[in-house]
Amino acid sequence: MTARTCIATTQDGAPCRAYALADSDYCYQHDPDRAVERREARSRGGLARQGRRFPRQPDPDPVRLDSLADIVILLQRTIDDTVHLENSIQRARTIGYLASLLMKAWEIACLEQRIFAIECVLRIRGKSAHPSASHRA
């Protein structure tokens, strides 16, 4: 017994290549007797997705980006919000991208701390942190 294909045509006029249902000449998407069932299924699918789009209430305080620490906090919050969204390829890509930005921000923060520490040591030793000032001495 060979599988039958749907007798309907697609929106562009091409024949539908989906398999016909056992009790019909149409596939599930084209069977006119299943129109109500399809509509109810779409409705249930939409309802199931509601509530997962924005898992937590937005912060009442405006976003501030006055320092590197503010950027790190924003990236952490955004990653946390994204993790709670419905699993998808876009979600995975977004998390990966945001994580790489967060790693770069941490790297810059570490470098800032190291430069600050070096400048402090140079001040304690009586030298300026600026190379042009050390040539005058």
Tens-digit pLDDT profile for the chain (137 aa)?
A: 567 899 999 889 999 989 888 889 999 899 999 999 888 888 776 555 555 555 556 666 677 788 888 888 888 888 888 888 888 999 999 999 999 998 998 898 889 999 999 999 998 888 655 555 555 44
* 89 in the same domain as 30: no
Shared-domain flag, residues 75 and 132: yes
Residues ≥6 apart with Cβ < 8 Å to 6? 15, 16, 17, 18, 19, 20, 25, 26, 27, 29, 30
Are both 92 and 40 inside the same structural domain? no
One domain, residues 72 and 108? yes
Asked if residue 20 is part of any domain, the answer here is yes
How many distinct structural domains can be found in the chain? Answer: 2
Query: What residue numbers bound the domain in which 125 lies?
Result: 68-136
CB 27 within 8 A of CB 16: yes
Task: Using DSSP, state whether 108 is helix, strand or coil.
Answer: helix
Whether the predicted model's global pTM rises above the 0.85 cut: no
Which has the closest alpha carbon to 84: 57, 61, 55, 108? 55
Q: Say if residue 77 is in the same domain as residue 109.
A: yes
